[in-house]
Structure 1
């Protein structure tokens, strides 16, 4: 069975987690927590004016920006995604040192084996009228023991349970072998606890 890793931004690699971006044209509105954006929502190309002096790294999932090197890695592992050409302009009209794209993963997977895992659900429905509770997505308040179900074959995907990007150990190895930067990986194993609210 494959091993999987939760992906987070690497706070120590030198680019701030949050930075101001002016998009041309403006990005469409979407909520990746509830559904994937579709390619037809986007234009043919975008420009991002980023309020930084230097910009380096290969994956900024919060801003949907990845390097062309990261896109090549995704192609190698047959990841499901779409990308849109992106020109980056930094302060004082400087250009980024490498090529970048807008990037949207299209794989969504539920990987939790609910029969073998230990978790608590958040009951957001109690705050809503009965008529609105039907069809609400499950929200995990805490996953104390995260057992991954069999049959998950994707190498990069949005994980429904933890609402974050997850990758396989093979994808992580490819990322590290290419000396890409910007991400850190937390193994989803017996020691992994999902507790978004502490």
Structure 2
């Protein structure tokens, strides 16, 4: 988190504190996004307009590209691992949260029941099949998140991002450019 704080696409990391109930444990001190809520909740409320959904998609794509530039894979993008908030009531910002599966400088393999677990549908098919994560698997998960907006304008981008073959998925600069064209 400290490594990604400067990206502006994750909560700011302030440091570690001893747990007052057990000093052997440490607690993470990070930015509180007080007016924010998970993207899942925001979608359930059905409050963002199409333009706001496109803006969130663009922000997440730029953020993921910035994070990948730091050689970090998130490996667990989904609608409840994104916080959205508004600075002025109309323009939504978005930040990635929950870095428990993130990896820096290496790939990750999911074990166990990732292939059959219904909660893992946001993971790329090759990851669910036991292959290591890659930038293209994060692109798949980004497409999964954008698909939840159910916007016809995003259908082509979502389809490309969620392509079955990892090598056929677009790189993030292309996703960003295509989203900017839609805006």
TM-score range, shorter chain: 0.3 to 0.5
- Return the structure number with greater helix share: 2
Which one has the largest radius of gyration? Answer: 1
State the TM-score, normalized to the length of structure 1: 0.31
Highest relative contact order (Cα 8 Å, sep 6+), 1 or 2?
A: 1
